[in-house]
């Protein structure tokens, strides 16, 4: 079957790496450290995928910008303490290698900063397979379409041949805003109903289902 898409753009946290729980815990612990009420699990998971400043603004709209630095410092303290232990989802590394071998252009669009993405690229060995990437400290935060638009422009791929794959409504809304198709994954940060509301082509329940769908339909 001819390829339907030339470019597959993956979110990272909650899509390729099983990090949503660590991110939520780190946000909650950091909040308590600086005297803010810890957000609920659902609230902490909801902001996953946003840039850190956008996440803080969403969780604590009354917090002045002068208070962001202390919260970010404590968040990084907790997250980096566990960073090297966070696993990829089962089958993720193998699937990315196969997709690369099959000739797809691969990219990452993530709420991580560049230093964080480069670190996990090296830790996992997956960096070699991706042709482009954009991070929250380089572009407008999701769901703005900037990341996707810049990746498509860099790699010379039109909207009709681009697929976004992510675990949050921010990912799927970004895809809609950029005019590209999207696949949701329901094993990450956001619940199935939030993803289905944004009309993805499919919503995969685990990475194995995602891998099979990409093999059969991408």
CA distances from 192 to 110, 116, 188, 204 (A): 20, 27, 10, 9
DSSP state of 58: H
Q: Which residue has the tokens 């803080």?
A: 56
- Residue 183's φ and ψ, nearest 5 degrees, are -120, 135
Of the candidates 12, 16, 49, which has an alpha carbon nearest to the alpha carbon of residue 171? 49
Q: Which residues are known catalytic residues?
A: 11, 13
Instruction: Write down the H helix ranges in the chain.
Output: 20-33, 41-46, 52-59, 68-82, 92-101, 114-124, 146-155, 169-178, 192-196, 207-217
CB atoms near residue 103 (< 10 Å): 8
Q: Which residue has the tokens 């329940």?
A: 205
């Amino acid at each position: 079957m001819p390829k339907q898409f030339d470019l597959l753009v993956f979110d990272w946290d909650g899509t390729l790496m099983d990090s949503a729980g660590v991110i939520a815990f780190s946000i909650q612990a950091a909040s308590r450290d600086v005297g803010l009420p810890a957000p609920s699990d659902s609230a902490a998971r909801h902001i996953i995928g946003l840039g850190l400043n956008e996440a803080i603004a969403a969780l604590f709209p009354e917090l002045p910008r002068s208070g962001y630095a202390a919260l970010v410092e404590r968040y990084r303290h907790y997250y980096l303490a566990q960073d090297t232990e966070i696993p990829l989802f089962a089958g993720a590394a193998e699937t990315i290698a196969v997709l690369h071998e099959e000739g797809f252009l691969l990219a990452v669009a993530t709420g991580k900063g560049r230093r964080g993405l480069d670190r996990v690229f090296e830790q996992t060995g997956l960096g070699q397979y991706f042709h482009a990437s954009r991070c929250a400290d380089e572009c407008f935060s999701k769901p703005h379409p900037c990341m996707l638009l810049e990746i498509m422009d860099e790699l010379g791929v039109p909207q009709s041949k681009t697929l976004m794959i992510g675990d949050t409504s921010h990912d799927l809304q970004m895809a809609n805003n950029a005019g590209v198709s999207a696949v949701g994954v329901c094993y990450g940060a956001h619940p199935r109903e939030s993803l289905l509301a944004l009309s993805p082509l499919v919503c995969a329940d685990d990475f194995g289902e995602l891998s099979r769908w990409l093999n059969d339909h991408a």
